[in-house]
Amino acid sequence: MNNEKILYELQWLITNSVMDSSRKFLHIIEKTFGKDSEITNWVFMMSYYEFLYFYVHVMNRTAGKYLNVDEDGELFKNMLPRLLDYSLHLLFKETSKSQKEIFFEAYNVAEVEYAKCNALMVEHEPLSKRATLTVLARRIHFLFQRHQKYQINNFDLAEILLVIVEIVGDELVSNQHKLDILIKKYK
């Protein structure tokens, strides 16, 4: 399989995971802010990006297991712009240089947080800052807190974490093997 085909399949796999996770999480956003409000749309869009940052991090961690440093860097250099362009087009239809810069900046901040993690979850410490799922939940919870005065229902961090664990756990279980295979073939 050539690298172009692998990149396409990785893009498809990651994008579908992001979209599935975002769609499954939408009911929490709607319970919090109501349906069809500007804030609901904004939180949904920003949550979409948070899921994207998370799944790119998962790809990076997986690539680190199977590829040498140069191959890993090349994969990242080729994948991130594809995912960014597709996501920006999906959400905005038009993309500008400033939107891309904002995305890259936000992604880098998220990646620094995820890079400090040493586990998906930490046993007996569900809210540990060393767990990638907890970091994802904290980042999404922050989106909720920014618009607290508009909340109809309030979900605390632990409740959001439980939903995230269920949603992302399902995605990782069903897709990690495919991700492993695709990345192993990337050379």
Residue 119 sits at φ, ψ, to 5 deg, of -160, 160
For residue range 22-39, list pLDDT tens digits in order. Answer: 999 999 999 988 998 899
Q: Give 151's pLDDT tier (boundaries 50, 70, 90).
A: confident
Q: Give 1's pLDDT tier (boundaries 50, 70, 90).
A: low
For residue range 31-74, list pLDDT tens digits in order. Answer: 988 998 899 999 999 999 999 999 999 999 999 999 999 999 99
Residue 161 lies in a domain: no
DSSP 1: -
Residue 33 lies in a domain: yes
Tell me which residue range forms the domain holding 78.
3-116+170-185
> What is the tally of structural domains in the chain?
1
Residue 180 lies in a domain: yes
Percent of the chain with pLDDT over 90: 53
The whole-number average pLDDT for the span 85-100 is 76
CB count, 10 Å around CB of 117? 20
| CA quadruple 4, 8, 14, 18: dihedral sign | positive
The whole-number average pLDDT for the span 70-93 is 86
The pLDDT of residue 95 is 67
Residue 98 lies in a domain: yes
The pLDDT of residue 156 is 80
Three-state SS at 142: helix
CB count, 10 Å around CB of 103? 20
Residue 158 lies in a domain: no
Residue 149 lies in a domain: no
Residue 104 lies in a domain: yes
Residue 68 lies in a domain: yes
pLDDT(93) > 80: no
Q: Which two tokens stand for residue 74?
A: 């090349």
The pLDDT of residue 37 is 86
For residue range 102-148, list pLDDT tens digits in order. Answer: 888 999 999 999 999 998 887 777 777 888 999 999 999 999 888 87
Q: Give 161's pLDDT tier (boundaries 50, 70, 90).
A: confident
Alpha helices in the chain (DSSP H): 3-33, 38-66, 69-92, 97-115, 132-146, 157-185
